[in-house]
């Protein structure tokens, strides 16, 4: 059975861009092999540097993932920071990591360009990611095309370690996720927290309705035909509605006679109903405060067993312990 590993960073309220781009594909993998899921709270320290906020984000992401269908009976689900071997392996890997390898990382350059401080943590991010993957001897790592370079760095470090200290670390293979259409934000740009244009999966009805009704549109009159291609309303509606209802909206766009306000109401109603089961499940989980912690503690105990098996071999190979 193939072992998959996926890390998700706690960065605030889960929005539908996160859901369709990362969460739903990750949850689907728990039925395809041995799945390890972790909340990447060490990674989150590069952007969230307020203790209470990070704790809240971490707890909420655990709730969100469980509500979205992650099943701890099928998958090993844990907090990254509950595994002491993660920073240990990251340090050991850093001692054989060429500077040039990190200097070529696209993600670092992109984040600096977006205004994040040029910290060592941000620069060494791929080494920590490599430790996350190699520690659990993952066979397959699901990645989008934009993350493929990080997995290539992981493989490069595993090869270099094995060449230096002996054949210890397992080389993972990439699983390039089927590309999902970019989820548009409420202003037509890509949906992103940094743009403030998100539609949250677990927001309140009043706030979400207001957001949908604020979607930017042009000034085409109600009676005039409208072009569905490029319409944020239509693009979002396609994510939720059945095919026959999508076809109906497309036809009404082209024929005219229905205004943007009516299309927005239809979008909200479909969106709200789509996520109703997830909201109800999340509310039940939230009513039992100890459940999430017990799930994460159990997952961490299982993950530590696998991590320690790897680290015994690593420590012996580098000379930190006897074989």
**Active-site residue set:** 111, 190, 193
Phi, then psi, of 79 in degrees rounded to 5: -85, 135
Q: What angle, 0 to 180 degrees and rounded to 10, lies between the N-to-C axes of helices 232-240 and 260-274?
A: 30
Cβ neighbors of 315 (< 8 A, separation 6 or more) are: 321
Element (H, E) at 79: strand 75-79
**Burial letters 155-193, b for 16+ CB under 10 A, else e:** bbbbebbeeebeebbeebebbebeeeeebbbbeeeebee
Identify the residue whose tokens are 């993957």: 133
Other Cβ atoms closer than 10 A to 136: 24
Tell me the two tokens of residue 200.
Answer: 């949250």
Alpha helices, H only, 14-119: 16-18, 24-28, 41-44, 51-67, 85-94, 99-103, 106-113
Please name which of 89, 129, 62 lies closest in space to residue 300, comparing C-alpha atoms. Answer: 62
CA dist., res. 236 & res. 271, Å (int):
9
φ, ψ (nearest 5 deg) of residue 162: -65, -35
Distance from first CA to last CA of the chain, Å, rounded?
Answer: 28
């Amino acid at each position: 059975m193939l072992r998959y590993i996926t890390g998700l960073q706690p960065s605030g309220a889960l929005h539908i861009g996160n859901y369709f781009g990362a969460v739903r594909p990750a949850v689907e993998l728990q039925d395809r092999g041995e799945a390890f899921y972790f909340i990447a709270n060490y990674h989150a320290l590069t952007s969230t540097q307020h203790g209470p906020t990070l704790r809240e984000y971490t707890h909420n992401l655990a709730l969100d993932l469980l509500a979205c269908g992650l099943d701890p009976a099928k998958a090993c689900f844990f907090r990254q920071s509950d595994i002491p071997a993660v920073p240990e392996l990251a340090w050991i890997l850093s001692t054989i990591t060429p500077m040039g390898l990190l200097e070529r990382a696209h993600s670092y350059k992109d984040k600096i360009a977006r205004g994040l401080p040029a910290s060592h943590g941000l620069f060494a991010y791929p080494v920590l990611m490599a430790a996350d993957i190699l520690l659990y001897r993952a066979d397959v790592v699901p990645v989008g095309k934009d993350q493929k370079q990080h997995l290539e760095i992981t493989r490069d470090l595993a090869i270099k370690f094995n060449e230096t200290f002996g054949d210890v670390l397992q080389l993972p293979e990439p699983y390039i996720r089927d590309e999902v259409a970019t989820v548009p934000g409420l202003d037509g740009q890509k949906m992103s927290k940094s743009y403030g244009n998100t539609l949250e999966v677990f927001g309140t009805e009043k706030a979400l309705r207001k957001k949908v009704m604020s979607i930017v549109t042009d000034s085409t009159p109600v009676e005039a035909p409208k072009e569905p291609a490029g319409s944020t309303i239509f693009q979002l509606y396609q994510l939720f509605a059945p095919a026959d209802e999508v076809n109906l909206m497309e036809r009404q766009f082209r024929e005219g006679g229905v205004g943007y306000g009516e299309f927005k109401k239809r979008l909200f109603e479909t969106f709200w109903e789509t996520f109703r089961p997830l909201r109800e499940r999340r509310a039940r989980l939230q009513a039992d405060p100890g459940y999430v912690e017990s799930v994460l503690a159990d997952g961490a105990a299982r993950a530590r067993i696998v991590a320690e098996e790897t680290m015994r071999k690593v420590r012996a190979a580098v000379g930190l312990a006897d074989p």
